[in-house]
């Protein structure tokens, strides 16, 4: 088991992770490029796209809780780690984004994806994995 601080240290460089949530067509898991900024996971998607719609409650101040997972494996050494972060998915407003000049992250799918989503961690867990 990894402590939350160690989990955040491991995911801090950014990279590719997966978000998991209950989408309009059932359980959904999607890859995202992400960055860690001020203790939160930040990724981009398209305004009006399926993820934008699935992660909105329609109520001010009420956010959908989602999961974010990232792992790194060294197949030769048979070891690695896996981190799961659970928390609220917050749609970042233009005003908020202007205050965060270093939050730029490239969207996984490319294209015009200007909606930034921030996952505010409520629970952080992780494990080191040893295959031998």
Superfamily of domain 4-130: Electron Transport, Fmn-binding Protein; Chain A (2.30.110.10)
Per domain, the residue ranges of the chain are 4-130
Q: Report residues of the chain scoring pLDDT below 50.
A: none
> Could you report how far apart the first and last alpha carbons of the chain are, in Å?
17
pTM > 0.85: yes or no: yes
Asked if 14 and 33 touch (Cβ cutoff 8 Å), the reply is: yes
- How high is the pLDDT of residue 101? 53
- How high is the pLDDT of residue 8? 96
């Amino acid at each position: 088991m990894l402590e939350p601080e160690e989990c955040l240290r491991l995911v801090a460089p950014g990279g590719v992770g997966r978000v998991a949530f209950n989408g309009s067509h059932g359980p959904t898991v999607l890859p995202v490029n992400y960055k860690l900024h001020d203790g939160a996971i930040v990724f981009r998607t398209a305004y009006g796209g399926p993820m934008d719609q699935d992660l909105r409650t329609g109520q001010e101040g009420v956010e959908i809780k989602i999961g974010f997972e990232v792992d790194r494996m060294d197949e030769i050494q048979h070891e690695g780690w896996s981190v799961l972060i659970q928390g609220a998915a917050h749609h970042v407003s233009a005003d908020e984004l202007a205050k965060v000049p270093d939050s730029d992250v490239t969207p996984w799918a490319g294209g015009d994806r200007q909606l930034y989503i921030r996952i505010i961690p409520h629970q952080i867990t992780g494990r080191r994995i040893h295959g031998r």
